[in-house]
Structure 1
């Protein structure tokens, strides 16, 4: 089953999608190139093409609030080790206390 000849002409004028193109067609995500490839296989960045983002003025006075309910209490874990929660010995000590075995 094929579309009518009038529709076939209209379909040709529409933007090509990844399903209509060849099997290796990649449409991209419109980010653009920030430089160019060298003949030795490297990549040279053109700093005039690199995007820079400027924070608007007055954003420092903006009062942001966390997306957490006010009645949630912060965790107050007791870490006996000196390294805090990221200490490996402290992790093994808690693991053994909760029933882990080596």
Structure 2
């Protein structure tokens, strides 16, 4: 049976997808869409055998002002690249971290409640003591069967 003219006209009002058009029509995901006047285009061309050839005139070149002009400018970064924290500032930012940094044993002890967050992390036991205690400690209960099963 041949579709009616009314049915065909409704189909023509729908937006065109990449499946409806020629092989060259590609809409993409529109994630990187830019306004046409801001688009710079690709820096080269695809070759016949699957390669890519750069065209020197189309390669983007970014020109920065001279360093003397940047250093003498009134615009400065919020934090200088060579800023150092004093010991008091380090204690404010990182108050009670363990000497060697956080590790799995320490986080496991925190989870089990053996060490509180307010304790001094520097006075935390060695990893051997934690391993001996964790072997004798009761196992963490696993979640029961789900209600969906």
Structure with larger RCO (C-alpha < 8 A, sep 6+): 2
With normalisation by structure 2, the TM-score equals: 0.35
With normalisation by structure 1, the TM-score equals: 0.47
Give the structure with higher Rg (CA).
Answer: 2
